[in-house]
Structure 1
């Protein structure tokens, strides 16, 4: 029986990935370099390359890249002073699952940024466990973030379901032994999700998989 659902954050619950890409694209453009959304979706969000690696691959000198990325980071922090929109169906889906199954958040963002993103929407109160970049040594696609969540929940991988938006997150959950439903966004939709338990167009699609898995277990 599925006892917990573990959720990614950026690009799945909140529309922060689109915001972050747009700020990066504009910062690169001001420096004279064009950044394509498909390239970003594959290399940064899928293959876990750092912004500095992508800048170098585009031919940007290291010193300039450092300034451009710092400028982007400052702009992103400023944007977090305003609410980051939740993606469609998120609040209804999380609220509908609350009380039926344990919920956890497993994100590569630092805790302070996560708290700023959600400070006005009340969503964090639904999560029993929150794993952030501050809690781990090895980020996704390494399994440590999910293994840490399992440890804190006291559960085996087969008792959990993960939900991610990218191949990087999927690889992390898969390596931890947790089946994963992927809900791609417009930046990650071109990635390969061959290891996914299922791929859904909206977050609400997770509900039918949780219900089906729960019903399957109850019939055993």
Structure 2
């Protein structure tokens, strides 16, 4: 596993007279020049990274496919479906199963069933997800949510746990033309945050997500879960066991202001 360490911390982007306009960060220019570390923001994936939703997505797919005489077993879901945006997944399912339904209709059905399921039975968060978000907030690290799901699909979970309050920006499938592994969603997140790729770190659980962040030039922490553990995440900067370890890893490399 390739691991990149911030042995030569990048200087603060608002250092000295290079600033155009007011400093983006809540400290003076003299303090700015004394900051250490690299990362100024954390960009989070949602499904499988913050929300323990993969098993629920699998269940919803099987409810829909069962009505059409089909099924996705555990191994196929882990290998082919985990982390794949619904717009891509429907094309594969229609092709491999000969389903008599249009991609648009199948996407609409999946979104409708997902929203109903997640509203009726709120999904759990991944271990230490809330603690990670609270730590980022308390440490002054801006956060963005970068997800291949649509706004409707993530809304029940965001509302149930009041998660939207943590994020400065949210980028969903509805906000981009190309889904992961294309880097568009991450490039949009960087633009919204006003940062260069080297100033952010992404946290992902699947190869699609890792490859999207890496293609955008962003360091990425891979945290595979039970559904994505067999996927190739070798392009990640580092692979860790969970969000608690990710917090410590980011803390050692984030921008810190020294008195």
Same fold (TM > 0.5): yes
Q: How do 1:1-220 and structure 2 match up within 5 A?
A: 1-45=38-82, 49-57=88-96, 59-63=97-101, 72-82=110-120, 83-100=122-139, 101-214=141-254
Report if aligned partners of 1:146, 1:172 keep a CA contact under 8 Å in 2: yes
| Unmatched tracts of structure 1, length 5 or more | none
More deviation, 136-145/73-82: 73-82
Following superposition, the deviation at residue 66 of structure 1 comes to 8.3
Give the Cα separation in 2 of the matches to 1:137 and 1:78: 26
CA RMSD of aligned residues (A): 2.6
Give the Cα separation in 2 of the matches to 1:125 and 1:132: 16
Report if aligned partners of 2:46, 2:146 keep a CA contact under 8 Å in 1: yes
Q: 1:74 to 1:134 in 2, by over 3 A?
A: closer
Count the aligned residue pairs: 217
**1:75-100 deviations in whole A, cap 9, x for unaligned?**
32211223222111100111112132
Q: TM-score, normalised by structure 1?
A: 0.87
Following superposition, the deviation at residue 47 of structure 1 comes to 6.1
Give the Cα separation in 2 of the matches to 1:132 and 1:47: 13
Report if aligned partners of 2:68, 2:99 keep a CA contact under 8 Å in 1: no
| Unmatched tracts of structure 2, length 5 or more | 1-37
More deviation, 170-179/205-214: 205-214
Q: TM-score, normalised by structure 2?
A: 0.75
Following superposition, the deviation at residue 68 of structure 1 comes to 7.2
Report which of the two structures shows the higher radius of gyration computed on alpha carbons.
2
Following superposition, the deviation at residue 114 of structure 1 comes to 2.1
Give the Cα separation in 2 of the matches to 1:10 and 1:70: 19
